[in-house]
Amino acid sequence: MKPILAIENDELLPGLGLLGKRLDARDRPVHRVLAWRDGLAGLRASDYAGIATLGGDAHAWAEEDFPFLRDERELLADAVEQDMPVLGICLGAQLLARALGAEVRTAAAHEAGWLEITPLEAAADDPLLGHLDGPAGVFQWHSDTFELPEGATRLAESELIENQAFRLGRAWGLQPHPEVDYTTFASWIANHPGGAEEYGLDEAVLHHEVRKGDQATLQWRTAMFDAFLGLVDGDRTTS
């Protein structure tokens, strides 16, 4: 069985969160890469059954400052060309959008906190976003946004940022962080002292909101990751 490639993109945002728990539950082989340390040069999409790439503070276009971003963009483009299941989250979604020819730019507003996203009509029968049957909270922390790649379907929006999720073939880009459970959040915020206050948030309140929201949305987030891993394991019903 080929492994799934899980790419972490930021030393200060470690871990796979709920995605990692679902991988463990399936006892599935995983190749975890710390992109900032290990790099991605030489990796081939054909060596994997699927790719999941996560968030980071870098701008997706900053390939001169972060050379691994170019390799990652090219790897994602190759994976999509091979009709491989791909899941990009936050920075990963922005890199996927760029791999598909779309622009990534600074957003008009910074989205930070446990915020609501709303699925669109097109999400109703989507293999992943179809598990979200109405507006729901999810962790957000980003200042950039992606344009919709040509031919892609927009699946979700939020009050501040129009493009929250898209699908093209068997590749999904999600701007929010459905993998973030409370434990993951607590680790990340500890690595960014003063980060909440910088964006006008009360860190104690944010802890409460994430802890409560994690439990309230666990069912659909679990179902979404399980659906993606089902595709990786060979369900081609969404081709």
pLDDT tens for 2-46 read 999 999 999 999 999 999 999 999 999 999 999 999 999 999 999
- How many domains, in total, are found in the chain? 1
For residue 65, what are its two tokens?
A: 């400052």
**Domain residues for 196?**
4-232
For residues 60-65, give the mean pLDDT. Answer: 98
Task: Establish if 88 belongs to a structural domain.
Answer: yes
Task: Establish if 64 belongs to a structural domain.
Answer: yes
Split at pLDDT 50, 70, 90, the class of 239 is very low
For residues 208-237, give the mean pLDDT. Answer: 92
Query: How far apart, in Å, are the Cα atoms of 219 and each of 92, 206, 215, 225?
Result: 23, 21, 8, 10
**Rounded to an integer, what distance in angstroms lies between the CA atom of residue 228 and that of residue 203?**
32
Tens digits of residue pLDDT in 174-195:
999 999 999 999 999 999 999 9
For residues 212-224, give the mean pLDDT. Answer: 98
Query: How far apart, in Å, are the Cα atoms of 79 and each of 20, 45, 134, 172?
Result: 21, 5, 30, 12
Task: Establish if 237 belongs to a structural domain.
Answer: no
Give the SS3 label for residue 167: strand
Q: Average per-residue pLDDT in the chain?
A: 96
pLDDT over 90 at 237, yes or no: no
Task: Establish if 149 belongs to a structural domain.
Answer: yes
**Rounded to an integer, what distance in angstroms lies between the CA atom of residue 221 and that of residue 212?**
14
pLDDT of residue 235: 62
For the annotated catalytic residues, the residue numbers are 90, 177, 179
DSSP symbol at 122: G
- CB 4, CB 50: distance < 8 Å: yes
CATH classification at residue 23: 3.40.50.880
Task: Establish if 238 belongs to a structural domain.
Answer: no
pTM of the entire predicted model: 0.96
